[in-house]
């Protein structure tokens, strides 16, 4: 089971005004793993992930999400089955908080999915625990929280329906370093629970540290689909072309390499860089 895009084309607008945004996209996002979607602003990342819960449908080609097949012909009423499996965290999800209390806000999703009030509250409490929101603020207004907490409450609202696939569009954007670190931990925990994660991000350090698989979009096409180690060991001019950076440890290793240090492949993390320097430069065991 996984998510498979098969020759997907998509344009906004119709006829002469049609602007092709996804061009013959074929890519997989493996089950139970973290797939990062990267690429320049406007490359089609948000458009791509909105196909995973059927918010957008392909003009041609298909998207297979576990046992669900999404095509241009898929009926709105059939999307209910898909949406029960896919939780979508949009950019700045805290802008959609609305209820009087944190708990009521998070319970809204499960109620909407047809759960009774008590079951919905239990699901909401479990989701709040998962995202690390302490019990003493469950009865507070969501608007009284810090930015990082509001973000996590909004994410709890998506997790409360226990989706098997969680899609997040730039989930750490705008958070302070602590808020970012908490959220990255949460994403790893969700993977630990067996969920399939699709994550749009601009930060290559996150891709290097978290992702099992990476899909790079460039002008609406797949420029690469591979693991982070392969991705960050391409020829340097490739990154210029698609407009992404190397993660800092890889860039640092590259600079050392260009300065004449005998370093082999570019590492993904500071720890890997340190051990490479020990082994390859100093020859330590």
Ligand X SMILES: Nc1ncnc2c1ncn2[C@@H]1O[C@H](COP(=O)(O)OP(=O)(O)O)[C@@H](O)[C@H]1O
* Catalytically annotated residues: 170
Find the part of the chain contacting ligand X (CB under 6 A) among 1-9, 45-53, 64-72, 160-168: 45-53
- Using CB under 6 A as the binding rule, whether residue 46 contacts ligand X is answered as yes
Can you tell me whether residue 244 is helix, strand or coil?
coil
62 binds, among ligand X, Mg ion, none (CB under 5 to 8 A by kind): none
* Residues 6+ away with beta carbon under 8 Å from 43: 217, 218, 219, 220, 243
Residue placing its CB nearer to ligand X in the complex, 12 or 98: 12
Find the part of the chain contacting ligand X (CB under 6 A) among 36-44, 60-68, 96-104, 274-282: 36-44
- Where do we find the tokens 């050392």? 256
- Using CB under 6 A as the binding rule, whether residue 39 contacts ligand X is answered as yes
- Looking at residue 44, what DSSP letter applies? S
- Using CB under 6 A as the binding rule, whether residue 14 contacts ligand X is answered as no
Are 202 and 169 spatial neighbours (Cβ–Cβ below 8 Å)?
A: no
- Using CB under 6 A as the binding rule, whether residue 147 contacts ligand X is answered as no
DSSP letters for 6-37? EEEEEEES-GGG-EEEEEEEEEEEETTSEEEE
- Using CB under 6 A as the binding rule, whether residue 44 contacts ligand X is answered as yes
Residue placing its CB nearer to Mg ion in the complex, 201 or 276: 201
Residue placing its CB nearer to ligand X in the complex, 56 or 190: 56
CA distance 232 to 246: 6
267 binds, among Mg ion, ligand X, none (CB under 5 to 8 A by kind): none
- Using CB under 6 A as the binding rule, whether residue 276 contacts ligand X is answered as no
HSE of 101 in the Cβ direction (CA atoms, 13 Å)?
13
238 binds, among Mg ion, ligand X, none (CB under 5 to 8 A by kind): none
CA distance 246 to 237: 11
Report in angstroms how near the CB of residue 8 gets to ligand X at its nearest.
Answer: 13
Report the interface residues with Mg ion, using CB under 5 A. Answer: 45-46
- Site for ligand X (CB under 6 A): which residue of 3, 10, 47, 154? 47
Q: Which two tokens stand for residue 179?
A: 């808020």
Report in angstroms how near the CB of residue 41 gets to Mg ion at its nearest.
Answer: 7
CA distance 71 to 222: 19
Q: Which residue of the chain is nearest Mg ion when measured via CB?
A: 46
43 binds, among ligand X, Mg ion, none (CB under 5 to 8 A by kind): ligand X
CA distance 230 to 113: 41
Rounded to an integer, what is the distance from CA 108 to the centroid of its chain?
Answer: 23
Residues in contact with ligand X by CB under 6 A are: 12, 21, 39, 41-47
């Amino acid at each position: 089971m996984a998510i498979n895009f098969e020759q997907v084309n998509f344009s906004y607008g119709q006829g002469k005004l049609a602007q092709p945004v996804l061009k013959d996209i074929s890519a997989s996002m493996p089950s139970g793993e973290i797939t990062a979607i990267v690429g320049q602003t406007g490359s089609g990342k948000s458009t791509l992930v909105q196909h995973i819960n059927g918010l957008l449908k392909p003009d041609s080609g298909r998207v297979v999400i576990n046992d669900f097949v999404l095509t241009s012909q898929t009926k709105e009423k059939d999307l209910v089955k898909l949406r029960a499996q896919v939780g979508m965290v949009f950019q700045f999800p805290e802008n959609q908080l609305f209820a009087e209390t944190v708990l009521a806000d998070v319970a809204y999703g499960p109620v909407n999915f047809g759960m009774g009030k008590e079951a919905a509250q239990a699901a909401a409490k479990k989701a709040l625990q998962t995202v690390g929101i302490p019990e003493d603020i469950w009865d507070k207004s969501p608007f009284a929280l810090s930015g990082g907490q509001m973000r996590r409450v909004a994410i709890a609202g998506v997790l409360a329906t226990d989706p098997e696939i969680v899609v997040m569009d730039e989930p750490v954007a705008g958070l302070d370093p602590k808020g970012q670190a908490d959220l990255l931990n949460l994403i790893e925990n969700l993977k630990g629970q067996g969920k399939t994660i699709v994550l749009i991000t601009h930060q290559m350090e996150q891709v290097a540290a978290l992702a099992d698989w990476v899909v790079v979009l460039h002008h609406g096409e797949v420029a690469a689909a591979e693991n982070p180690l392969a991705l960050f060991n391409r020829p340097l001019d490739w990154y210029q072309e698609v407009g992404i950076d190397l993660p800092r440890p890889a860039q640092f290793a590259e600079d050392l390499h260009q300065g004449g240090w005998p370093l082999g492949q570019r590492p993904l993390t500071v720890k890997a860089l340190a051990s490479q320097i020990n082994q390859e430069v100093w020859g330590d065991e």
